[in-house]
């Protein structure tokens, strides 16, 4: 069963504007983690931000913030003041503890293009 | 230092060749991972090592053989690959297998099988 859903295959944003990338998840486990990664065309997966299921406040890291709505099971990434270097593939991921250990599931990704 | 290194960056090999991919981290992480990623797709988990022991093998064909010689090193031995095995191979590490820890990825090896 699919556990992470990213419904936006591609997004465009004007430079210096904010953009929201959507992510919804499905789990019955009370303890889980939500992550966002950026993957430029070079291929490296760059960790951006983390939100734990028990965290009361939304995570923020510089221009990145995670809009965590637990009841809706959504964990959207907000990028403020977009820059040309933000153009990349963005993956939402969830970790949860299975009987074999920590399992990591990735969404299908959103391709973000920043327009000058 | 949150760096995971991978060598080589690019690899072209024939279907009868034997080659190895190497991954290294010096963050003291005790869990290490191999992923396969096709273009415009999310990474697919292949193997997980925890404390140098193989913990998860996601039904990967035997032509891929992982090895964890010590807590900092992870190898992936390749033999008799098929053209459909061409992909980006990503290594990652995390603090431990138990717990919701972020994974840190290396730059990947772009593999082409001819």
Asked whether the beta carbons of B13 and B75 are under 8 A apart, the reply is no
Residues 57-86 of B with CB under 8 A from A: none
* Residue matched to tokens 């939304």: A58
Q: pLDDT of A17-51, one tens digit each? A: 999 999 999 988 888 899 999 999 989 999 999 99
Neighbours of B25 (CB within 10 A): 23
> Is residue B58 very low, low, confident or very high in pLDDT (cuts 50, 70, 90)?
confident
pLDDT value at residue A103: 75
Between A and B, how many CB-CB pairs are < 8 A? Answer: 71
Rounded Cα–Cα distance for residues A45 and B42 (Å): 11
Work out the minimum CA distance from B16 to partner chain A, whole angstroms: 27
Do the chains contact at B100 and A91, CB–CB below 8 Å? Answer: no
Rounded Cα–Cα distance for residues B112 and B94 (Å): 28
Rounded Cα–Cα distance for residues A64 and A74 (Å): 16
Phi, psi of A86 (to 5 degrees): -80, -10
Do the chains contact at A45 and B43, CB–CB below 8 Å? Answer: yes
- For the residues A48-66, what does the mean pLDDT come to? 95
**pLDDT tops 90 at residue B82:** yes
Rounded Cα–Cα distance for residues B102 and B31 (Å): 11
> Is residue B2 very low, low, confident or very high in pLDDT (cuts 50, 70, 90)?
low
Could you give the percent of chain A with pLDDT greater than 70? 95
> Is residue B99 very low, low, confident or very high in pLDDT (cuts 50, 70, 90)?
confident
Asked whether the beta carbons of B76 and B21 are under 8 A apart, the reply is yes
**pLDDT tops 90 at residue A100:** no
* Beta strand pairing call for B18-25 and B31-37: unpaired
pLDDT value at residue B56: 80
> Is residue B55 very low, low, confident or very high in pLDDT (cuts 50, 70, 90)?
confident
Do the chains contact at A97 and B98, CB–CB below 8 Å? Answer: yes
Would you call the peptide bond into A49 cis, given omega within 30 degrees of 0 as the criterion? no
Residue A78 corresponds to which tokens in the numbers above?
A: 């907000």
Please tell me which of the candidates B42, B101, B108 has its beta carbon nearest to residue A108: B42
Q: pLDDT of B3-40, one tens digit each? A: 999 999 999 999 999 999 999 999 999 999 999 999 98
Phi, psi of A2 (to 5 degrees): -70, 130
Among the ranges given (A26-30, B28-32, B73-77, B108-112), the one the predictor scored with the smallest mean pLDDT: A26-30
Residue A80 — left, alpha, or beta (φ > 0 → left; ψ -120 to 50 → alpha)? beta
Q: Does B36 touch chain A (CB under 8 A)?
A: no
């Amino acid at each position: 069963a699919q556990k992470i859903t990213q419904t936006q295959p591609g997004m465009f944003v004007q430079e210096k504007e904010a953009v929201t990338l959507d992510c919804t998840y499905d789990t019955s486990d009370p303890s889980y983690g939500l992550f966002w990664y950026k993957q430029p065309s070079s291929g490296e997966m760059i960790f951006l931000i983390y939100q734990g299921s028990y965290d009361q406040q939304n995570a923020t890291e510089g221009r990145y913030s995670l809009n965590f709505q637990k009841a809706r099971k959504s964990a959207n990434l907000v990028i403020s003041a977009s820059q040309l270097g933000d153009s990349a593939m963005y993956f939402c991921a969830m970790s949860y503890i299975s009987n074999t250990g920590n399992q990591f599931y990735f969404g299908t990704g959103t391709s973000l293009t920043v327009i000058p | 230092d949150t760096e995971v290194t991978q060598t080589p960056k690019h690899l072209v090999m024939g279907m009868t060749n034997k080659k190895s991919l190497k991954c290294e981290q010096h963050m003291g992480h005790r869990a290490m991972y191999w992923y396969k990623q096709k273009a415009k797709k999310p990474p697919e988990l292949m193997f997980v090592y925890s404390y140098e022991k193989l913990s998860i093998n996601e039904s990967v064909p035997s032509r891929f053989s992982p090895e964890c010689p010590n807590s900092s090193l992870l190898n992936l031995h390749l033999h008799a690959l098929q053209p459909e095995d061409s992909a980006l191979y990503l290594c990652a590490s995390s603090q431990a297998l138990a717990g919701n820890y972020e994974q840190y990825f290396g730059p990947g090896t772009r593999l082409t099988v001819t």
